[in-house]
Structure 1
Amino acid sequence: MPKQIAFDESARRSLEAGMNKLADAVRVTLGPKGRNVVLEKKWGAPTITNDGVSIAKEIELEDPYERIGAELVKEVAKKTDDVAGDGTTTATVL
């Protein structure tokens, strides 16, 4: 499959939109008044969680450029979880 190349302003906006969609889903869990999120699984029962990295891992976007933006933020959450073990929600929102 040939690679698509995009380098204009609309490509940057699509990356940012993907990042924002993921961050918005995780943001609701931040802080002492943070809420839980229900995750639909491909198999089994839905999961209720307030863990930022768990939420980030489950998000899949249709648009390929938005998906790349979301994957960048997912990597931030995964690295934060690996190194610190906590703070994934804060790292994602920042």
Structure 2
Amino acid sequence: MTFALQPWVSTTRAEHGMVLLNEATGRYWQLNGTAALVLSALLDGVPQQEAARRLAERYQHVHAEQAADDVATLVASLRRARLVATA
């Protein structure tokens, strides 16, 4: 599965993460550093499973199952907000 931001979404890095702006509605979403790390990996073509593995590796107190759940939750939230397109 490939990820891409919708054409109407712009991003900017923030001190502790990333901000996504829906230019069509003016709504924005602030991602913490962990979510920004995962989204960046997904946008670079990394599969969800690999993004979860990297998350668990970086934050060793996070178990692999929890990391996979967290990545899936983030992806579902981004889809519901219509910020990303997947193929």
Please report the TM-score for the alignment, with normalisation by the length of structure 2.
0.32
Structure with a larger share of its residues in helix: 1
Structure with a larger share of its residues in strand: 2
Q: Which has the larger radius of gyration?
A: 1
Please report the TM-score for the alignment, with normalisation by the length of structure 1.
0.30
